[in-house]
């Protein structure tokens, strides 16, 4: 599916909340930061005519629309970027793929495994037609994490044996924080596990290049009831989750996710321990990668704070001189760049929908293990 010859690649974005804002910033910026095919921000799609109109003006989209199905019929739209709540992903993404569009779908792929399986099937069919179906685990495009993956792939850590991952936030510490759709199983699927634990698990697999083969899990709901619109309401998802993961390359990973970790704002932390070296990372300091190399003299060994802002580091050619740090949002621009490159080059893009489905199965296994008192569930 070659690039359009006579016009820029047209993008439609569905959704304009937090993720929609971040993706808008990426599409607005990618052409200035990176070489690649030209892009037109054609249309922003939402349900509320007035609100989506205002958002389109503010976020820099040429048009707005309320009927995403109609948008899929437009010939000047080549890419559909799905930033809706999770339970709408499957319907929109599948329709977009069937309409011949490239798709970028925010994580989670879907709220349930059946939907995810249908999405994978649609993506496979689309891939045969030259379309790209990409999953938005954007943190893979944080330069420090991309660099970490490269170091692992180059063997700088040797064989990885132990991984520690956590994602700690604190926005539910207050017992009076109100009930919301994120705290109900029927709308959110799961709680901390699916929302942020999923990022941690995706990174474990991304960084090690290994797949989860078995899990043991535990979930907890620390504040079981919160103020709802009509009085106290039951929280039906987890506030915190723990798991140990066996990886098919032999490593063992621990994962902990929490929305109750007072004072930790957005702390996705990762530690990899291998036979030749080790790595540490914290998303709250996302330009830093800490690397320990056991091949230097023992008297000089220590974790090095690599400021991942050198021109030689991943994605840095698009940004600023060394030492000028990047923020959270830049990873979205990097993601847009990689997606455009995959579309232009006809290459595979990772993570794809199958990766999303595999991750969903790991999350399901954690939940199943917890339901069975913590026993091992094999994938």
* Residues 56-115 contacting a second copy, CB under 8 A: 58-60
Rule CB under 8 A: is residue 191 a binding residue for a second copy? no
In the bound state with a second copy, the residue whose beta carbon lies nearer, of 129 and 327, is 327
Q: What is the pattern of x (binds a second copy, CB under 8 A) and - over residues 24-63?
A: xx--xx-xx-------------------------xxx---
In the bound state with a second copy, the residue whose beta carbon lies nearer, of 2 and 373, is 373
Beta-sheet strand order (sheet of 63-65): 63-65, 39-45, 9-14, 79-82, 102-106, 133-136
Adjacent-strand bridge partners of 241: 219, 257
Among 303, 350, 361, 379, binds a second copy (CB under 8 A): 303
Q: How far is the CB of 260 from a second copy (least distance, A)?
A: 5
Q: How far is the CB of 290 from a second copy (least distance, A)?
A: 8
Among 87, 118, 161, 184, binds a second copy (CB under 8 A): 161
CA-nearest of 117, 205, 98, 96 to 160 is 205
Residue 267 CB neighbours (<10 A): 18
Alpha carbon dihedral 322, 264, 18, 185, in 10-degree steps, equals 140
Rule CB under 8 A: is residue 265 a binding residue for a second copy? yes
CA distance 75 to 67: 15
In the bound state with a second copy, the residue whose beta carbon lies nearer, of 315 and 353, is 315
CA distance 214 to 372: 14
Rule CB under 8 A: is residue 285 a binding residue for a second copy? yes
Specify whether the CB–CB gap between 308 and 289 falls below 8 A.
yes
Quickly tell me which residue has 């349930």 as its tokens: 112
Rule CB under 8 A: is residue 167 a binding residue for a second copy? no
Among 2, 5, 6, 18, binds a second copy (CB under 8 A): 18
CA atoms within 13 A on the CB side of 190: 29
Q: How far is the CB of 346 from a second copy (least distance, A)?
A: 24
Rule CB under 8 A: is residue 178 a binding residue for a second copy? no
Among 48, 69, 162, 178, binds a second copy (CB under 8 A): 162
Q: How far is the CB of 265 from a second copy (least distance, A)?
A: 3
The footprint of a second copy on residues 315-344 (CB under 8 A) is 320-330
| Both tokens assigned to 229 | 């619109």
Rule CB under 8 A: is residue 7 a binding residue for a second copy? no
Pairing type for strands 79-82 and 102-106 reads: parallel
Among 84, 115, 190, 258, binds a second copy (CB under 8 A): 258
Rule CB under 8 A: is residue 136 a binding residue for a second copy? no
Rule CB under 8 A: is residue 274 a binding residue for a second copy? yes
Rule CB under 8 A: is residue 6 a binding residue for a second copy? no
State phi, psi for 26 to the nearest 5 degrees. -65, -50
**Three-state DSSP state, 136:** strand
Q: How far is the CB of 353 from a second copy (least distance, A)?
A: 26
C-alpha distance from residue 228 to each of 20, 177, 180, 186, 190 (Å): 27, 10, 8, 16, 18
In the bound state with a second copy, the residue whose beta carbon lies nearer, of 2 and 323, is 323
Rule CB under 8 A: is residue 234 a binding residue for a second copy? no
| Both tokens assigned to 290 | 């800490």
């Amino acid at each position: 599916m070659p690039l359009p010859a006579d016009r820029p690649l047209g993008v439609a974005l569905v959704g304009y909340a937090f993720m929609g804002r971040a993706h808008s910033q990426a599409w607005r910026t990618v052409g200035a930061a990176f070489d690649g095919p030209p892009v037109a921000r054609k249309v922003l799609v939402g349900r509320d005519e007035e609100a989506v109109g205002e958002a389109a003006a503010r976020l820099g989209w040429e048009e707005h629309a309320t009927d995403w199905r109609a948008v899929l019929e437009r010939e000047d739209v080549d890419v559909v970027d799905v930033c809706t709540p999770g339970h709408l992903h499957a319907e929109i993404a599948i329709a977009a793929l069937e309409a011949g569009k490239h798709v970028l779908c925010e994580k989670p792929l879907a709220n349930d495994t059946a939907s995810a399986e249908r999405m994978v099937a649609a993506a496979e069919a689309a891939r045969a037609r030259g379309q790209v179906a990409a999953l938005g685990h954007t943190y893979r495009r944080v330069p420090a994490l991309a660099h970490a993956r490269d170091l692992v792939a180059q063997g700088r850590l040797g064989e990885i044996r132990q991984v520690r991952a956590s994602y700690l936030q604190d926005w539910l510490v207050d017992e009076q924080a109100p009930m919301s759709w994120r705290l109900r199983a029927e709308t959110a699927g799961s709680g901390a596990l699916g929302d942020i634990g999923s990022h941690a698990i995706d990174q474990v697999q991304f960084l090690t290049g290994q797949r989860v083969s078995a899990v043991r899990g535990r979930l907890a709901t620390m504040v079981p009831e919160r103020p709802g619109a009509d009085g106290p309401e039951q929280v039906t998802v987890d506030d915190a989750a723990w798991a140990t993961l066996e990886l098919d390359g032999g490593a063992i990973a621990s994962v902990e996710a929490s929305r109750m970790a007072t004072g930790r704002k957005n702390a996705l932390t990762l530690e990899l321990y291998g036979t030749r070296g080790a790595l540490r990372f914290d998303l709250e300091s996302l330009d830093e990668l800490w690397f320990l190399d056991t091949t230097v003299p023992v008297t000089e060994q220590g974790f090095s704070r690599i400021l991942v802002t050198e021109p030689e580091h991943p994605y840095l050619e698009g940004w600023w001189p060394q030492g000028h740090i990047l923020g959270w949002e830049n990873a979205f621009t990097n993601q847009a760049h990689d997606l455009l490159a995959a579309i232009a080059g006809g290459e595979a893009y990772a993570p794809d929908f199958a990766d999303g489905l595999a991750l969903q199965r790991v999350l399901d296994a954690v939940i199943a293990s917890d339901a069975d008192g913590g026993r091992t569930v094999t994938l």
